[in-house]
Amino acid sequence: MTVPVTMTAIEITHPGDPSVLTPCAADVPIPGAGEVLIRVCAAGVNRPDCLQRRGLYQVPADASIYPGLEVAGEIVARGSKVARWHLGDRVVALTHGGAYAEYCCANEGHCLPWPATMTSLEAAALPETCFTVQYNLLTRASLTGSDTVLVHGGSSGIGTTAIQVAKALGAHVLVTAGSEEKCNYCTALGADHAINYRAADWLGAAKRLTEGRGVDVVLDMIGGPYVQQNLEILATDGRYAMIAFMLGPRAEVNFMQVLSKRLTLTGSMLRPQSPAQKSAIARDCEATMWPMIEAGQLRSIIYTSFPLADARRAHELMESGAHMGKIVLEVADT
């Protein structure tokens, strides 16, 4: 196909509320030597996009000025050093920004095959969540099938993926969520127990559900006062993986729990990782999670979608917290 010179993208006119997301005319990016140019069919919406819009998320100097971190689409151009991918290949990709657009560049190592069983919306929702769960829950926290894991924010995009991956491995899964509807949603996905943190003391409930033993792994996107509570619920030799701080990055913590129970604290963000590290995570995802997708053990859970021009509405929904699963932007026909 002929690649146009210009495209529609969503720009952040200035830091602010969702109304600052505006469609604009932009130049179609030119892929570097190790990059592919993707005609975007759909793009995932993630909380870092909202933080970037508000001016609270540091964007790397070499990243696209447009928001968006994940896409599904068709490769329409490739750099001189690209080895794996060819024109016409359908891929999903973790992007270095720029996903809220009709065309987007991605490092070839950050692309994965678009699963044949998935729609464009389902495929676009994979990269950010799968990379995050793979690196934090499986690689850094070393989750195994014999573990009990506690996932905070179980109805979120990352939470729904974490539940399914943990269950596919054979782990026992506890989650927290903010309503009975969300708790039921999580148990329908496979969680063994879901605790409504608005109606109950989640720490006390988790202790009862584990008969006082605690959990082996915590995946935490909440932070704030949850940090100390997570240390308390972890069992001996437990692993604590931090991925975000919705209640803030500061906490008052008694670290004696870390010493007495030999706990491991770890955390990461995807955006600052080197291209080589992201490529390594992509390879691990393909080896671990893509077989789960093929076996029907891992589904991409879509709450709703919006046309690209309505990115503002997608951000409003994201920040309302009402969604369960992923929010996706529709960009082009497959």
- Whether residue 165 lies inside any domain: the answer is yes
pLDDT band at 333 (very low <50, low <70, confident <90, very high): confident
Residue 40 · residue 104 · CB < 8 Å: yes
Q: How many other C-beta atoms are found inside a 10 Å radius of the C-beta of residue 62?
A: 7
pLDDT band at 1 (very low <50, low <70, confident <90, very high): confident
- 194 and 83 inside one domain: no
- Please report, as a single letter, which amino acid is at residue 280: A
Higher pLDDT, 164 or 58: 164
- 122 and 145 inside one domain: no
- 224 and 304 inside one domain: no
Residue 43, pLDDT score: 98
- 69 and 46 inside one domain: yes
- 79 and 14 inside one domain: yes
- Whether residue 278 lies inside any domain: the answer is no
- 42 and 118 inside one domain: yes
Q: Is the pLDDT of residue 179 over 90?
A: yes
Report how far residue 28's alpha carbon sits from residue 256's, in angstroms, rounded to the nearest whole number. Answer: 54
- Whether residue 284 lies inside any domain: the answer is no
- 49 and 160 inside one domain: no
CB-count burial class (<10 Å; 0-12, 13-18, 19+) for 6? exposed
- 182 and 137 inside one domain: yes
Q: What share of the chain is helix, strand, coil (3-state, %, to 5)?
A: 35, 30, 40
Report how far residue 76's alpha carbon sits from residue 69's, in angstroms, rounded to the nearest whole number. Answer: 19
CB-count burial class (<10 Å; 0-12, 13-18, 19+) for 333? exposed
